[in-house]
Amino acid sequence: MSYESIDPVIQAWTNRHGLTLFDSAQDFPRSTVRVACISSNKGKCFLIWVTKPSLTHVTVHAENDESDTSKLFCEEWLVPSHALDNALEAVLGQVRNMMTH
């Protein structure tokens, strides 16, 4: 499947939180991705990205910048496509919590 079915949800989520959505990555120039970068005032950087959906599910990933090895954070969640917005909100909450520690 393509991102077409979930792009409106991802775009609405990034707009709601003032995030910039990227659809390609320097490390994977031939791949299509959906990724948002989040930085704290202390300079901690995190990525949240969504893989292409299957027929019924999508995977949401989050990790901290590779340069911050003090607290490694790398998680993924497989969620029903219809629950993507709630999953993105939950993941963003976890990332923001990690940013304060």
Average pLDDT over residues 47-56: 91
For residues 48 and 59, is the Cβ–Cβ distance under 8 A?
Answer: no
Count CB-CB contacts under 10 A for residue 45: 15
The conformational region for residue 5 under phi > 0 = left, psi -120 to 50 = alpha, else beta, is alpha
Q: What is the mean pLDDT of the chain?
A: 86
Q: 66 pLDDT band (50/70/90 cuts)?
A: low
Residue type for position 81: S
Residue 26 has pLDDT above 80, yes or no: no
- Using alpha carbons, select from 100, 99, 76 the residue that is nearest to residue 88: 76
Could you tell me which residues are beta bridge partners of residue 39? 45
**CA 75 to mean position of chain CA atoms:** 10
- How confident is residue 30, by pLDDT bands cut at 50, 70 and 90? low
Encode burial over 51-60: b for 16+ CB neighbours within 10 A, e otherwise. ebbeeeebeb
